[in-house]
């Protein structure tokens, strides 16, 4: 073993170049919106030009994404928003989906207590009560400056008039035809009953426009009461599903205190449970303060190994301890404690620790890859980091009849059976078991970074459990490797989530030499065609100029500014 260590040291200290990373970035001195849809970013920028602030633009962008980015943008799902106002006030808005009243702990198990394949991911029974409209309404009521109708109207207009289908979107919709076909409204809207959309045609969604019009005119009640709630309940009654009018009437967005941490003089503001992402992010940064990586290149074997070992330990605690804080006493303070991080970091060496040997901490009692993230900063310095989702691509594949709204399949984010992996391979504990009104655990990690008291960075990503590590990469690439924000979000990424015990790496992330060295260190690696997230970030330069990080992994992505 000693001879292996000696022979490896030269290889381990090699730094990689930024080959393939895009260095050019859009910038502005005014407000900025960066999202997975240039059309939606343009909507947000339009709101900023009309005098709206970052929260107004965030709401308008999110509603526009529900029309133009149907695989993840939504009003039929939920998510999390972290807001930092220019005066330093911060808030976290939890609009995660809730389990309907008919939900119960064993609802996805058969008579032998085995998980029924597909029941928690496809069809109406996979859906939790949507939270997006309630969350946007809460944020706007607290911080918005323009009238509600003004921020909703652009989405109504796009849904009614249609948006131009790209070649990529046309291909994806055609490829999903067999999956949409069992659900009549979904097949009609997205596949035109087999007369598939071609690139350049306009996709109009009149039922969705009608639902958005009710939201525009009636606010929150336009979704959770009256006609829309009735349509959801009737759809469930007609086709089989859990929703009742009471489920919608009882939904509430929760205003929570953000989690806060520090890393080498940077102040981290991020999402608390029921997202596990914020706690895991802070925990990993705490470990990296003790076992720093700054002298290693961002693709060098030693850097990759160090981050992988940190990821393993954070995800082990995630599996054991994270859930809905309204139903569990969660040891969050212990998990993000710097002393605990030092204990974990002490066990990290140059060689891999098998995941089977990594146990979650014992403390005293007390999200599909098809999520989407966007970041907003206005000219005054107000900032919003928002991540929301349907879970997997196009959620449960069901449009609730008459609403135009795609339902989420977030119930799969609960533990169908403790110890059995979900669709992302995540093993989760009893704290995340199913119960009526409960919110499933998530990995969404909307994050704002502050330096010397001033806004420095707004970041976040989709990607299921890879979200947490993507956000970690985006911060470290800027802070430790002096990348521009565009280089930071474009740079190849890798991921480990404790179980399964292997390193997942996206295109270009690990060279052949790095993989060979990693194998000698005891790390199993495997490639994925996925880019591991789609990080959209904004960096604020010392002169106040905003720089966009637009992730090239999604072809429709784009930034838009207000000047």
Active site residues: 371
The H or E element spanning position 221 is helix 221-224
Q: Where are the beta strands (DSSP E) in 144-230?
A: 163-164, 202-203
User: Distance (Å, rounded) from C-alpha 36 to C-alpha 41?
Assistant: 8
**DSSP code at position 114:** -
Determine the number of helices (DSSP H) and then strands (DSSP E) in the chain: 19, 21
The DSSP result for 66-82, as a single string, is HHH-TTT--SSSEEEEE
In 391-403, which positions are buried (b, 16+ CB within 10 angstroms) versus exposed (e)? bbbbbbbbbbbbb
Token pair listed for 516: 């060979």
Closest by CA position to 385, among listed 467, 271, 280, 475: 271
User: Distance (Å, rounded) from C-alpha 459 to C-alpha 448?
Assistant: 6
Using DSSP, state whether 500 is helix, strand or coil. coil
CB atoms within 10 A of CB 443: 31
Q: Are 238 and 185 in contact, with CB atoms under 8 Å apart?
A: no
Token pair listed for 280: 């895991």
Query: What is the phi/psi pair of residue 281, to 5°?
Result: -60, -50
User: Distance (Å, rounded) from C-alpha 61 to C-alpha 388?
Assistant: 12
Helix, strand, coil shares of the chain, percent, nearest 5, are 40, 15, 45
Token pair listed for 106: 């064993």
Closest by CA position to 461, among listed 479, 443, 435: 443
CB atoms within 10 A of CB 18: 18
User: Distance (Å, rounded) from C-alpha 139 to C-alpha 51?
Assistant: 17
Dihedral of the CA atoms 231, 233, 235, 240 (nearest 10)?
A: 180
Chain position carrying tokens 């470290």: 476
Q: Where are the beta strands (DSSP E) in 135-289?
A: 163-164, 202-203, 254-256, 259-263, 266-270
Q: Are 319 and 360 in contact, with CB atoms under 8 Å apart?
A: yes
Token pair listed for 132: 């997006």
Closest by CA position to 260, among listed 483, 84, 444, 54: 84
Token pair listed for 381: 């310095």
């Amino acid at each position: 073993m000693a001879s292996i260590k000696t022979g490896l040291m030269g290889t381990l200290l090699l730094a990689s170049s930024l080959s393939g990373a895009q260095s050019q970035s859009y910038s502005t001195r005014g407000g900025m919106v960066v999202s997975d849809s240039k059309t939606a970013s343009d909507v947000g920028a339009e709101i900023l030009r009309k005098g709206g602030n970052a929260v107004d633009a965030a709401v308008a962008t999110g509603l526009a994404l529900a029309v133009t980015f149907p695989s993840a943008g939504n009003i039929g799902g939920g998510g999390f928003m972290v807001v930092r106002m220019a005066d330093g006030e911060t808030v976290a808005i939890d609009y995660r989906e809730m389990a309907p009243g008919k939900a119960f702990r064993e609802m996805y198990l058969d008579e032998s207590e085995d998980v029924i394949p597909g029941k928690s991911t496809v069809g109406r029974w996979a859906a939790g009560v949507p939270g997006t409209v309630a969350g946007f309404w809460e944020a706007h009521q607290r911080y918005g400056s323009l009238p509600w109708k003004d921020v909703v109207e652009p989405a109504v207009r796009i849904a009614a008039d249609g948006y131009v289908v790209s070649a990529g979107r046309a291909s994806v919709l055609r490829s999903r035809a067999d999956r949409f076909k069992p659900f009549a409204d979904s097949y009609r809207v997205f596949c035109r009953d087999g007369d598939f959309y071609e690139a350049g045609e306009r996709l109009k969604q009149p039922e969705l426009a009608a639902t958005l019009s009710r939201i525009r005119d009636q606010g929150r009640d336009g979704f959770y009461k009256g006609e829309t709630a009735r349509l959801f309940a009737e759809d469930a009654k007609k086709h089989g599903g859990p929703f009742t009018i009471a489920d919608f009437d009882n939904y509430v967005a929760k205003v929570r205190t953000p989690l806060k941490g520090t890393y080498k003089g940077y102040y981290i503001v991020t999402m608390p449970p029921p997202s596990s992402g914020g706690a895991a992010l802070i925990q990993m940064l705490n470990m990296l303060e003790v076992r720093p990586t700054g002298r290693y290149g961002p693709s060098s074997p030693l850097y990759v190994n160090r981050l992988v070992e940190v990821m393993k330990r954070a995800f082990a605690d995630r599996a054991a301890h994270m859930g809905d804080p309204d139903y569990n006493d969660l040891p969050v303070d212990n998990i993000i404690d710097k002393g605990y991080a030092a204990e974990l970091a002490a066990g990290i060496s140059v060689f891999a620790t098998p995941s089977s040997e990594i146990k979650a901490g014992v403390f005293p009692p007390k999200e599909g890859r098809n999520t989407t993230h966007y970041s907003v900063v206005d000219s005054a310095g107000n900032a919003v980091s928002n991540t929301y989702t349907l879970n997997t691509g196009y959620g449960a594949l069901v449009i609730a009849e008459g609403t135009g709204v795609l339902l989420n399949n977030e119930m799969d984010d609960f533990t169908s059976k403790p110890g059995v992996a979900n669709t992302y391979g995540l093993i989760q504990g009893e704290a995340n078991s199913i119960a009526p009104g409960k919110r499933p655990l998530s990995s969404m990690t909307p994050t704002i970074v502050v330096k010397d008291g001033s806004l420095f960075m707004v970041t976040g990503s989709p990607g299921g459990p890879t979200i947490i590590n993507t956000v970690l990469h985006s911060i470290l690439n800027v802070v430790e490797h002096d990348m521009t924000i565009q280089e930071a979000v474009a740079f190849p990424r890798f991921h480990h989530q404790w179980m399964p015990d292997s390193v997942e790496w996206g295109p270009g992330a690990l060279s052949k030499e790095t993989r060979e060295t990693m194998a000698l260190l005891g790390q199993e690696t495997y490639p994925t065609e996925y880019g591991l997230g789609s990080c959209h970030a904004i960096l604020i330069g010392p002169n106040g100029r905003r720089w966009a990080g637009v992730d090239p992994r999604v072809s429709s992505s784009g930034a838009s500014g207000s000047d």
